[in-house]
Amino acid sequence: MAAVSLSAVSQPPYMIDKVISDNKIVNFNNQKLLIIDFWATWCTPCAPATEQLEILQKSMPDDVFIVSVSDENEDIISSYLQRNPIRLAVMKDYVENSLIKLFDVKSRPYAVLLTLDGKALYKGHPANITPQMITNYASKLKSQPKKNWNDLFYEISKTIHQSVPQDKEFHISKQSWEEKEMYTDQGVFHYYGPLSGLIKYLLNCSSYQIILQDINDYGISMSCDELELENSKTKILQLVEKQLSIGVKNESKQMEVTLFDVVNPKMLWDDKQINWNNPNSPYIVGTDRIEADNMTIRDIANLLSEVKGNFFYYKGNDNRLYDWNFHYLYDNLMNEDLEGSFGIQLKKEKVSVPVYYYSER
């Protein structure tokens, strides 16, 4: 349990982009406590964690109000909710002043338990928030100022955020292409290559998860502010979709994959084994080995999908950066290297994978 002291993390109202759906269990009526549940459509463990919070919300409607926040594209969130309804209030994060960044969310599922004036009581996995914890904290808050919804959350889309955010450094155009190239120069990120490659990079997924419907995989030249990209690839993807007049439909699909199963996380290298300090070239694919500096497990799985021509997939939520050096050419040697050096087993499985269908608007 990651309980924290009663110190103010930030003062509400918290900025959000939009309320996608309301809480269907209880209305906000100045409950004593607030839980912010951070989730994503790609996060498999998030669904059962949110279901447990729904049970908590139903059992303690007068003590706590629970909201679920994702930083993904609104269409992706809405499409997911059509197939997997969430009965809590679902909100889209505001990338300019992100709650994910405000509460230092490093993995998901993740939850923050707060008083209505912004004092943090708990931060960590939502499964650790129990009815007894809520009762104990609520009993200490017998009197507090009357709050309304607007005192807690400020919905940007109703005011200054009427449409897709603009980025004065953002430029995109169609062009002929041969090979993909990405680099940063004087604070500006540049991409040249196929449309599918750009979408794959911004979604941080495999090419096996992107399907272009009635769209040719044409070449793209795109540039944007480096800091904007670091703050939110989702925002940049929104700009790409708007400028190219393309839309996305997201759904889960059962697919055969080579699954990355981290059986011994203590064996994973930290980010100090290789220090190239070159974000433009974070990896080297040699004749039989891959070396990488500061890449996540999902990054490596996506890279192997491209290099090996098979779908490698990581369904966990570890987004920390690691260094890598392993054999990839022959499967048996790659399997031995990843398990012996990094505690990762590769297993052929059929799993549910998010797939993104892009079409012209």
Upper half-sphere CA count for residue 124 (Cβ side, 13 Å):
10
Q: For the residues 259-278, what does the mean pLDDT come to?
A: 91
Spatial distance between the Cα atoms of 15 and 18, rounded to a whole number of angstroms: 9
Nearest to 269 by CA among 326, 352, 327: 326
Q: Is the predicted pLDDT of residue 176 greater than 80, yes or no?
A: no
Residue 319 confidence (pLDDT): 83
Spatial distance between the Cα atoms of 20 and 233, rounded to a whole number of angstroms: 20
Q: In this structure, which amino acid lies at residue 193? A: G
Query: What single-letter DSSP state applies at residue 314?
Result: -
Kindly report the number of other CB atoms within 10 A of residue 118's CB atom.
16
Task: Report strand pairing: 89-93 vs 64-70.
Answer: parallel
Domain range summary for the chain, segments of one domain joined by +:
3-158, 171-244, 253-353
Kindly report the number of other CB atoms within 10 A of residue 11's CB atom.
9
* pTM (two decimals): 0.57
| Partners of 253 in beta bridges | 353
Residue 8 confidence (pLDDT): 41
Q: Over the chain, what is the mean pLDDT?
A: 87
- Write out the two tokens for 291: 């070396």
Share of the chain above pLDDT 90, in %: 55
Q: Which of 118-132, 248-262, 276-290 has the lowest mean pLDDT?
A: 276-290
Q: For the residues 174-198, what does the mean pLDDT come to?
A: 86
Q: Is the predicted pLDDT of residue 170 greater than 80, yes or no?
A: yes
Q: Which of 9-13, 159-163, 327-331 has the lowest mean pLDDT?
A: 159-163
Residue 277 confidence (pLDDT): 73
Spatial distance between the Cα atoms of 246 and 240, rounded to a whole number of angstroms: 8
Q: Is the predicted pLDDT of residue 88 greater than 90, yes or no?
A: yes
Residue 162 confidence (pLDDT): 43
Task: Report strand pairing: 153-155 vs 119-124.
Answer: unpaired
Residue 15 confidence (pLDDT): 84
Residue 4 confidence (pLDDT): 39
Nearest to 240 by CA among 199, 206, 185: 199
Q: For the residues 222-232, what does the mean pLDDT come to?
A: 87
CATH placement of domain 3-158: 3.40.30.10
Q: Which of 48-62, 164-178, 277-291, 297-311 has the lowest mean pLDDT?
A: 164-178
